[in-house]
Amino acid sequence: MTTKQLFKTILQADTTITAPVVEELVQWASQSGQRQRADYLLSKCGRELPGVISALNGQYPKDIGLLYLVFFNHVVLEPGQAMFIDAGTVHAYLSGDVIECMACSANVVRAGFTSKNQDVTTFSSMITYDFTQSKQFLLVPKDYKRSIFNAVASASNSTCVIYNPPVEEFGVIKTELKGKFATVTFEAIPGPSILICVNGGGLISVDSGRETLAVGKVFFVSSNVAYTLESLQDESCIIFTAL
């Protein structure tokens, strides 16, 4: 049986079959001192697997999703890192805060770790079953060329980088203005933008006026409109922009 066939079989199996297996998996994960028979599994999935299983079992007791973890890459993203998850790729966010940007779609199908509706039949038919190493999903940020810093921003090593996935629908810019009065101006582009401030504060300015930047505030910038961001605090002002 191939990995694809095995995963699809688990997805479609009756709970009377999967429930005892989930129970055994949870017990295995909790027995931290008795891993002799699990050496092969641990070598393939990483030493963090038992802890992840135990933590998620605490949130979703005996959930079928616990079985899926054996097939998944467990990825820990550090601040500033980003990854692209293609359509049809199974994924689950386990902890922490992320900025997620996606193409327009209402087609979110779930099959575990949720209190919302689950559609296993549709789920099993639409996913790619492409078992890829996690490092192939990572995106390398590049300097965003359509931005101009003032002298304060340049002197403080402020940054403006773009994460460009291998699709045309969207990209994400991360701007970090370091220090009070650091400023960056963005050239007008032929498409709208959505901004969110996640740290610090300051001002966003366009020809028609300006608004206060603060944590949690979201702004929409129309097509072909240039705008300026300015930090008014000593701590870094961090803004993410979806293009």
CA 132 to CA 149: how far, in whole Å? 39
Out of 35, 47, 110, 146, pick the active-site residue.
Answer: 110
CA 91 to CA 170: how far, in whole Å? 19
For residue 122, the surrounding DSSP H or E stretch is helix 120-126
Cβ–Cβ < 8 Å for 162, 173: yes
Cβ–Cβ < 8 Å for 19, 62: yes
Maximum pairwise Cα distance, the chain: 68
The 10 Å Cβ neighbour count of residue 80 is: 11
Instruction: Give catalytic status of residue 146 as yes or no.
Output: no
Residues assigned a catalytic role: 110
